């Protein structure tokens, strides 16, 4: 491989720990606001995370449980759209109140990439407004070269469309970039686009099959905070001590 010139981050579970106490909570608040008695517990939401995209997740759940079957297809589409809009408002409220912390090492690694003049992008199936709320809030010191979010692509991960679009947008070759993901769907999407992948696990993805990833860590790590544990990859070549730095990434994937 050649020199790394771009680094692409997934958002949910990578940049910010959003799923368990963010998106799940916002979905449940929305169901309650619309007068529905159902809610998603931690285990059920884990299973639903295998479905990429919030609107798609709701539709799958309603169909699987036989809920709202009295609605026509058009009525179901309209309801899901309304509910997803309100869910986004609830989720952004959690972000703006800073109830959802950044994952260890993410901001630090982005700063290191900035200092090395590496293109930084966000590639997420999450709503664009929530992605920009994070970018303009907790990541306001970081210059993001692009954000690809929401319905910018028609096919969600594990389809590689969003990463192929990132390559097209930057003009970079796959071997000149690296992706930070957290889930099997994300890893498969990046690998299908020919990109090397580092996976950082969380409560929902720590038991997923991430064998296709080039490196698997519990987190990126911070010098004065939580340290990461290397779960998969060449420890000797990486020389990992609990904190993953940009120069280590560049050396690892250039070897």
192 shares its domain with 234: yes
Q: Which structure tokens are listed for 63?
A: 């169909």
Residue 107 lies in a domain: yes
128 shares its domain with 86: no
- Strand segments, DSSP code E, in the chain are 6-9, 119-123, 146-148, 177-181, 197-200, 215-217, 230-232
Q: Would you state the pLDDT for residue 98?
A: 78
Categorize the per-residue pLDDT at 21 as very low, low, confident or very high, splitting at 50, 70 and 90.
confident
Residue 1 lies in a domain: no
- Residue 22, pLDDT > 60, answer yes
Residue 51: burial class (beta carbons within 10 Å; 0-12, 13-18, 19+):
middle
Number of domains in the chain: 2
C-alpha 112/C-alpha 118 separation (Å) is 9
Residue 44 lies in a domain: yes
C-alpha 255/C-alpha 244 separation (Å) is 16
3-class secondary-structure state, position 249: helix
Q: Which structure tokens are listed for 230?
A: 């290397």
Sign of the Cα pseudo-torsion (15, 16, 17, 23, in order): negative
165 shares its domain with 177: yes
117 shares its domain with 243: yes
- Residue 213, pLDDT > 60, answer yes
Q: Domain of 197: which CATH number? A: 3.40.50.1000
Q: Domain of 35: which CATH number? A: 1.10.150.240
Sheet architecture: strand order including 177-181: 146-148, 119-123, 6-9, 177-181, 197-200, 215-217, 230-232
34 shares its domain with 158: no
Domain end position, chosen among 62, 96, 130: 96
48 shares its domain with 11: no
Instruction: For residue 151, indicate whether it is catalytic.
Output: no
- Residue 173, pLDDT > 80, answer yes
Q: Would you state the pLDDT for residue 18?
A: 79
Global confidence as pTM = 0.83
Query: Which H, E and C letters describe 97-138, residue by residue?
Result: CCCCCECCCHHHHHHHHHHCCCEEEEECCCCHHHHHHHHHCC
| Residues forming a β-bridge with 199 | 181, 216
pLDDT above 70 as % of the chain: 99
Q: Would you state the pLDDT for residue 255?
A: 64
- Residue 20, pLDDT > 80, answer no
205 shares its domain with 111: yes
74 shares its domain with 193: no
Categorize the per-residue pLDDT at 112 as very low, low, confident or very high, splitting at 50, 70 and 90.
very high
- Residue 1, pLDDT > 60, answer no
Instruction: Dump pLDDT digits (tens) for 37-68.
Output: 999 998 999 899 888 888 999 999 999 999 99
84 shares its domain with 108: no
Residue 173 lies in a domain: yes
Domain that holds residue 67: 19-96
Angle between helix 73-96 and helix 24-33 axes, rounded to 10 deg: 120
Do residues 94 and 22 lie in contact, with contact meaning Cβ atoms separated by under 8 Å?
Answer: yes
Instruction: For residue 21, indicate whether it is catalytic.
Output: no
Closest C-alpha to 231, from 251, 195, 207:
207
31-40, 141-150, 200-209: which has the minimum mean pLDDT?
A: 200-209
195 shares its domain with 212: yes
31 shares its domain with 84: yes
80-84, 95-99, 114-118, 247-251: which has the minimum mean pLDDT?
A: 95-99
Domain end position, chosen among 96, 117, 144: 96
Instruction: Dump pLDDT digits (tens) for 115-166.
Output: 999 999 999 988 888 899 899 989 999 999 999 998 899 998 999 999 999 9
Domain end position, chosen among 96, 125, 160: 96
Q: Which residue is catalytic, options 10, 182, 214, 222?
A: 10
């Amino acid at each position: 491989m050649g020199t790394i010139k771009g680094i692409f981050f997934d958002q949910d579970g990578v940049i910010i720990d959003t799923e368990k106490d963010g998106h799940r909570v916002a979905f449940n608040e929305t169901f309650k606001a619309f007068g529905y008695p159902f809610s998603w517990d931690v285990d059920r939401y884990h299973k639903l995370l295998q479905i990429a995209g919030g609107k798609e997740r709701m539709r799958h759940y309603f169909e699987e449980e036989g809920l709202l079957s009295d609605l026509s297809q058009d009525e179901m589409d309209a309801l899901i759209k309304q509910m997803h809009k309100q869910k986004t408002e609830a989720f952004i409220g959690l972000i703006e109140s800073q109830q959802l912390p950044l994952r260890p090492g993410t901001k630090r690694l982005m700063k290191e990439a900035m200092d090395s003049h590496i293109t930084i992008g966000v590639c997420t199936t999450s709503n664009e407004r929530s992605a920009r709320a994070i970018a303009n809030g907790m990541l306001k010191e970081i210059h993001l070269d692009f954000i690809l979010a929401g319905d910018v692509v028609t096919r969600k991960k594990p389809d590689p469309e969003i990463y192929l679009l990132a390559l097209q947008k930057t003009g970079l070759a796959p071997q000149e970039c690296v992706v930070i993901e957290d889930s099997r769907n994300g890893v498969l999407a990046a690998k299908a686009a020919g990109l090397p992948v580092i996976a950082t696990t969380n409560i929902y993805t720590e038991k997923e099959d991430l064998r296709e990833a080039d490196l698997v860590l519990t987190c990126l790590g911070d010098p004065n905070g939580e340290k990461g544990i290397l779960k998969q990859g060449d420890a000797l070549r990486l020389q990992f001590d609990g904190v993953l730095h940009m120069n280590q990434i560049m050396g690892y994937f250039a070897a």
